[in-house]
Structure 1
């Protein structure tokens, strides 16, 4: 493509004239060339549009302007570029190469945000831009650039939501954050909702102290304030008090506790040598075709292990009402709700990005990275939930007054 602008002979003369000794020397020269070309392009636009005699910086002559000249400055990593525009005709100049009010022509801000969204550290962003583009950026500049998305996050976090969600998954992921000179554990509360069209969406991200039912209640109230009037099924882990928090805000919502979390929590009482056998014997319970069959399997399990691990059996019986919710639904919906796999998968995507940051300097820095990572995840959520047509048909039967299909 370069032959369109320079012949091979011109290029050889250019190289010979500058006697390049290193890649750095080439980069510096090209940066200077870019600045000169951009300056000339802007000045050429000005000459063409206003048809005036060009301002000569050396002679300081100002023709065709009784009011003098104003400078238009464009910042780039190649340095500030200035052109002279007659003050009395400044409003007439509508540049194409660099738009009005544009202060950056290089896309470096986009590069910074894109790298930050991938979990790249500030130091690595600096190194990347320096090595690839020869651009030096400071940690302050990186912070200032990423801070520009904070108002966007606030707008996203407060956007109106749909009035009904068929299934909502609630779970938290934990990070270490600096606070008042100390490193503390913080929970990022996440909510994924599936609407009546079968589309998934992240309804919000909230940063709080260690996970608690009280904070979850504030999250649920926030959802209600943003327009969510009804949730058919809520899929949660086994956090104490979660059920009460949901019932206080959405009393009609059915709760399905995650089977995988229940297995993990209940097998804490099991010795390692029995663990494999115990988990295998639990499988017929949650794989049963009906709730009645599942209860028979639970009875058999208790006969085998009840005397040795009474706390394990007690845990399953105490939580049974909310562990067995999925049995009333068809296989397509059962598979969707009996675990919190959907939100766990989302969390895995976030961990890929955040694993390079062992400690976040502020809550805001954590929220920025989680938001940008979430936007990347949402780009891949383009289709409806599998078998959604069949699932929705079943829901209209179970909830005829709450699910109105147009």
Structure 2
């Protein structure tokens, strides 16, 4: 299985059937062809050990490192993502972040604060997003210190989607698509007083979720956008893998083809493309080529 482009992980806040405290983990994967799939389902909690086991189970079934992983602000989920997917970018769900900000800003100041925060989150590039965030902090730090602290908390993860192609950003900056599955799951389970165990509940939840996931629309990915994502992948690999003497010598010997400037793409994401692969030697049969 090729590495997916984006993987979203969300967890419902409601308890399971019969009042149990277990939660259901359904990830969403955006594949390299643009199709959205529901690859796995597991009951568990938000602690790092459970989420790590959830990710490792998918890695054991040939799930590669996603280019971007979207999650909420749970500490256990963030720790599991950084442990299991060190080469992947982590995107903070902006829908959860806006709800956190709305709880800390007065109602009369919320429209203006929301507009400026949204402008920073949806800026054309990360450099512009940082400038807009600095202006917001300067104007509201004295008046709304708690809201500004919430806004700047994990800000780099909140703008990670700006590294991706412009046409993909709307679909990958939130976990809303998974949150809608929870609505369908609650609608099916609220009429059941007792689910008679975890396995029957998971069967019912998987049946309702997989039917809803079949209606997901794919995202069209052009060749130009694939080259953009390849550049982001190369930067992520270089940032996580230390350069050795052999890899440095290979990079210096091979002429690098620099990725051209792309409108809307962060200049820091411009990376050297990998060298052209050499044609493998022709097989020999008894000394004859």
TM-score by length of 2: 0.72
2:106 paired residue number: 271
Q: Secondary structure at the match of 1:192?
A: strand
Tell me, in whole angstroms, the C-alpha distance in 2 between the residues paired with 1:358 and 1:308: 48
Tell me, in whole angstroms, the C-alpha distance in 1 between the residues paired with 2:64 and 2:125: 31
Tell me, in whole angstroms, the C-alpha distance in 2 between the residues paired with 1:241 and 1:375: 26
Q: In the alignment, which of 40, 59, 65 is matched to residue 204 of structure 1?
A: 40
Contact 1:188 1:207 (C-alpha < 8 Å) held by counterparts: yes
2:17 paired residue number: 177
1:307 aligns with 2:125: no
Tell me, in whole angstroms, the C-alpha distance in 2 between the residues paired with 1:168 and 1:270: 31
Contact 1:167 1:233 (C-alpha < 8 Å) held by counterparts: yes
1:193 aligns with 2:29: yes
Contact 2:38 2:210 (C-alpha < 8 Å) held by counterparts: no
Query: Relative to structure 1, is the Cα distance of residues 331 and 223 closer, same or farther in structure 2, using a 3 angstrom cutoff?
Result: same
Query: Relative to structure 1, is the Cα distance of residues 276 and 360 closer, same or farther in structure 2, using a 3 angstrom cutoff?
Result: farther
Tell me, in whole angstroms, the C-alpha distance in 2 between the residues paired with 1:358 and 1:313: 43
Runs of 4+ displaced beyond 4 Å: 387-390, 400-404
1:374 paired residue number: 209
1:130-159 CA-to-partner distances (Å, cap 9, x unmatched) read xxxxxxxxxxxxxxxxxxxxxxxxxxxxxx
1:394 aligns with 2:228: yes
Q: Secondary structure at the match of 1:175?
A: coil
Tell me, in whole angstroms, the C-alpha distance in 2 between the residues paired with 1:187 and 1:289: 36
1:202 Cα deviation after fit: 0.8
Query: Relative to structure 1, is the Cα distance of residues 185 and 393 closer, same or farther in structure 2, using a 3 angstrom cutoff?
Result: same
Q: Secondary structure at the match of 1:230?
A: coil
Tell me, in whole angstroms, the C-alpha distance in 1 between the residues paired with 2:196 and 2:106: 40
Larger CA deviation: 336-345 vs 251-260: 336-345
2:55 paired residue number: 220
Query: Relative to structure 1, is the Cα distance of residues 380 and 222 closer, same or farther in structure 2, using a 3 angstrom cutoff?
Result: same
1:348 aligns with 2:188: no
Contact 1:176 1:360 (C-alpha < 8 Å) held by counterparts: no
Query: Relative to structure 1, is the Cα distance of residues 228 and 272 closer, same or farther in structure 2, using a 3 angstrom cutoff?
Result: same
Tell me, in whole angstroms, the C-alpha distance in 2 between the residues paired with 1:251 and 1:359: 40
Query: Relative to structure 1, is the Cα distance of residues 238 and 392 closer, same or farther in structure 2, using a 3 angstrom cutoff?
Result: same
Note the 1:71-110 alignment, pairs <5 A: none
1:243 Cα deviation after fit: 2.5
Q: Secondary structure at the match of 2:26?
A: strand
Contact 1:175 1:359 (C-alpha < 8 Å) held by counterparts: no
1:342 Cα deviation after fit: 2.5
1:327-376 CA-to-partner distances (Å, cap 9, x unmatched) read 22221122221122232233334344334346644222321111111232
Contact 1:177 1:186 (C-alpha < 8 Å) held by counterparts: no
Question: Higher Cα Rg: structure 1 or 2?
Answer: 1
Q: In the alignment, which of 162, 170, 176 is matched to residue 335 of structure 1?
A: 170
1:389 Cα deviation after fit: 5.1
Query: Relative to structure 1, is the Cα distance of residues 393 and 386 closer, same or farther in structure 2, using a 3 angstrom cutoff?
Result: same
TM-score by length of 1: 0.53
1:167 aligns with 2:1: no
Query: Relative to structure 1, is the Cα distance of residues 220 and 352 closer, same or farther in structure 2, using a 3 angstrom cutoff?
Result: same
Query: Relative to structure 1, is the Cα distance of residues 249 and 296 closer, same or farther in structure 2, using a 3 angstrom cutoff?
Result: same
2:283 paired residue number: none
**Counting strand residues as a fraction of each chain, which structure ranks higher?**
1
Aligned residues: 237
Contact 2:161 2:172 (C-alpha < 8 Å) held by counterparts: yes
Tell me, in whole angstroms, the C-alpha distance in 2 between the residues paired with 1:397 and 1:319: 24
1:248 aligns with 2:83: yes
Alignment RMSD: 2.7
Between the two structures, name the one with larger relative contact order (CA 8 Å, sep ≥ 6): 2
